[in-house]
Amino acid sequence: MKPEKGERGLWYVGTVGFATEKEAQAYIDRGMKHYDVPEIKSTGPLYGLKLPLLALALLVIIGVIAGRWLASGGGENDPEKKQRMAALLVCQKAIASSARYGKAEYPPYPEVRSGDGFFLFLWKSGDFYFKNAFGADVPQSARCEVDKLSGRIQHLAISGKVLVN
């Protein structure tokens, strides 16, 4: 097949037009493809290993995450953790019920300390809020100590005011 000169000085190969005869002939020479797509050639020893290396990297990442999860207890039933969460809920309920105005929400998860026979939960000022008589939010702080054996509050103070001692 040869390029043909057409109207307005364009060169055609079938229905595809070109500005010069040389461009039209190059189109024919490359098998009548519209675009030259360069072939990707091997540039190093890892050429062709991209997918296997990606899969290996993914497996290593998953292994590290699983190892850390297992090292941290792996979701096993920890009796002290259950006690701590139950004690926290007791404190949160007591704090929320002490709000005078409006419906108070439970305070968020606090700083936790544990000692011989007790859990101590500490909320800094501004960790949670109570509404005042005018409906404005007032920052609060709290300290709640719970006995590990009985699960009862031994000491509760909200913004300096002791409620249980």
Q: Is residue 117 part of a domain?
A: yes
| pLDDT given at position 54 | 80
| pLDDT given at position 67 | 84
Residue 36 scores a pLDDT above 80: no
Q: If you average pLDDT over every residue of the chain, what do you get?
A: 86
Number of folded domains that form the chain: 2
Token pair in block for residue 159:
């913004």
Strand ordering across the sheet containing 16-18: 4-5, 11-13, 16-18
Average pLDDT over residues 8-33: 85
- Name which residue leads in pLDDT, 157 or 102: 157
**Does 36 lie in the same domain as 94?**
no
Q: Is residue 66 part of a domain?
A: no
What gap in Å lies between CA 148 and CA 26, rounded to an integer? 86
Any alpha helices (H) in the chain, and if so which ranges?
A: 21-29, 50-71, 79-97
Average pLDDT over residues 56-77: 80
**Does 91 lie in the same domain as 35?**
no
Residue-wise pLDDT tens digits, 111-158: 999 988 999 999 999 999 999 999 999 999 999 999 999 999 999 999
**Does 149 lie in the same domain as 85?**
yes
Residue 80's pLDDT band (boundaries 50, 70, 90)? Answer: confident
Average pLDDT over residues 66-76: 72
Residue 71 scores a pLDDT above 80: no
**Long-range contacts formed by 102-107: CB under 8 A, 24+ apart:** 102/130, 102/131, 102/135, 104/128, 104/130, 104/131, 107/140, 107/142
Q: Is residue 21 part of a domain?
A: yes
Q: Which domain holds residue 144?
A: 79-164
Neighbouring residues of 23: CB distance < 8 A, sequence distance ≥ 6: 11
What gap in Å lies between CA 139 and CA 128, rounded to an integer? 6
Please say whether the beta carbons of 131 and 138 come within 8 A.
yes
